[in-house]
Amino acid sequence: MNINNFLNVLAANASRNFKIEQLTANKDDKLLREVVQLTLDPFTQFYQRKIPKYKPGPTDGISLKFALDSLSDLSSRRVTGNAAIAHLTGLLEALNPDNAKVIERVIDKSLGAGFSESTANKVWPGLVHEYPVMLCSPYDQKLADKIKFPAYVQLKMDGMRFNAIVHNNTVEFRSRNGKEIQLLGNLEEEFLQMAGDTDCVFDGELLIVDNGVTLDRQTGNGILNKANKGTISSADAAKVHATVWDVIPYSAFLVGICKTEYSKRIANLEVMLQHRYTSTKKVNLVATDLVPTMEFANAMFEEYLSSGLEGIILKDASGIWEDKRSKTQIKFKGELECDLRIVGVQAGTGKYENMLGAILCESSDGIVKVSVGSGFSDDQRKNLITEKLLDKIVAVKYNTRIKNRTGEESLFLPIFIEIREDKNVADFSMDIK
């Protein structure tokens, strides 16, 4: 099988069912299975943020299997720095052009075929280890009624979700999809001081602070996306600050559950923050209040909204940490927003000829489908048309969930907010209100 052509065929058809049918028909292809696994597994990193320039290889080059096996030199960090770049360049130049494109997809950690981990695991059960992350539940009255008071009210942050993973006296920064975030040495010493002799994982969001002012979401995340891609400058990396709200043992993170209740976890986090002796103090605890009733929580929500902030997270003090959407942590937001996967791109017409017209998006399970053509600036329309948008996750703001003219689930008045480089899994339809 020509895997590059196969992935291009999948990319050209937006139907999730089509992709599943084609993958299932070829599920016994061991090479295809390995390509999907290496690309989508968040715990397999190759530490190469861009594809080096290389000369096209011969039509009868080395085998794709040999090249995939050789990538272990990168993932294990047996070769690093310039030696790693030379190693990758040599592999790409020794492959035929189609197989070289497959290796590019693997290194980029993006198949570019319009499907994610959930689809891969549907075809090959358990193939891809999904990166552990605890998510909040959207507001639901039944869930809110189950919150025990006093409870915590925390400001809903508007940055990029991240983990600081402290293990064996080193710090690794990862986005919520497991991709490495390169901060060029910034924040590392502070997290090491906070952790002391313990291996642990901090949870929070990264923000950009310039001359004491926290930049708005689109500007700040535009800079943070460069850290996600490994192209951030040292000047911008120095502006990165962190707001944290949780910490769990590293061992608990690996198994996806920590049964320590939240009141004890946040108390431990506060003590850790006090142990820093660095003068920078770029890591701070999220604004947190312990409130006695739901009425107090609602009052704080309204106060934050009136101040132009996004909302609150209401947290049950007895809640545990688990690798799933938590029923003990609830988002209160003033506007509806969801994260969708791009499954198609439409070119613009008229005023937007040769520019981006709209993106076709779906929920993770393919139930909610919508065309998003609003919210783009002219510069974005010019630049995004050349980007590899397929498979990327985008944040979309909308008024309400509806059924379109053909009876499919969709969104009313969808507006593009930003590309989420820190995510590779879209929201499921059940979480889109």
Q: Can you give the CATH number for the domain in which 411 is found?
A: 2.40.50.140
pLDDT tens digits, 325-384: 999 999 998 889 999 999 999 999 999 999 999 999 999 999 999 999 999 999 999 999
H-run or E-run covering 17: helix 16-25
Q: Which two tokens stand for residue 77?
A: 């960090």
Helix (H, G, I), strand (E, B) or coil at 293: coil
Of 318, 333, 348, the domain-final residue? 333
Average pLDDT over residues 181-209: 96
Are 293 and 413 part of one and the same domain? no
pLDDT value of residue 114: 86
Are 111 and 189 part of one and the same domain? no
Strands 135-138 and 283-285: unpaired
Are 147 and 263 part of one and the same domain? yes
Separation in Å, CA 69 to CA 38, 43, 91, 192: 10, 16, 11, 34
Q: Which two tokens stand for residue 346?
A: 């439409």
Question: Is residue 93 in a domain?
Answer: yes
pLDDT value of residue 218: 87
Are 304 and 352 part of one and the same domain? no
Are 198 and 112 part of one and the same domain? no
Question: Is residue 128 in a domain?
Answer: no
pLDDT tens digits, 33-43: 999 999 999 88
pLDDT value of residue 4: 97
CB atoms within 10 A of CB 193: 15
Of 123, 143, 164, the domain-final residue? 123
Average pLDDT over residues 148-164: 96
Percent of the chain that is helix, strand, coil (3-state, to 5): 35, 25, 40
Cα 378 to Cα 197: distance, rounded to the nearest angstrom: 51
Question: Is residue 129 in a domain?
Answer: no
Are 309 and 342 part of one and the same domain? no
Of 333, 350, 368, the domain-final residue? 333
Average pLDDT over residues 232-254: 97
pLDDT tens digits, 32-72: 999 999 999 988 989 887 899 999 999 999 999 999 999 99
Question: Is residue 113 in a domain?
Answer: yes
Are 230 and 96 part of one and the same domain? no
pLDDT tens digits, 338-354: 999 999 999 999 999 99
Are 235 and 340 part of one and the same domain? no
Are 158 and 89 part of one and the same domain? no
Are 70 and 212 part of one and the same domain? no
Q: Which two tokens stand for residue 375?
A: 């919210």
pLDDT value of residue 206: 97
Q: What domain range is 394 assigned to?
A: 336-431
Strands 135-138 and 325-333: parallel
The number of folded domains in the chain is 3
H-run or E-run covering 56: none
pLDDT value of residue 422: 87
pLDDT over threshold 90, residue 278? no
pLDDT over threshold 90, residue 125? yes
- Per-residue pLDDT band for 89 (boundaries 50, 70, 90) equals very high
Q: What is the mean pLDDT of the chain?
A: 94
Cα 10 to Cα 23: distance, rounded to the nearest angstrom: 9
Phi-psi region of 23 (alpha: psi -120 to 50; beta: other; left: phi over 0): alpha
pLDDT over threshold 80, residue 385? yes
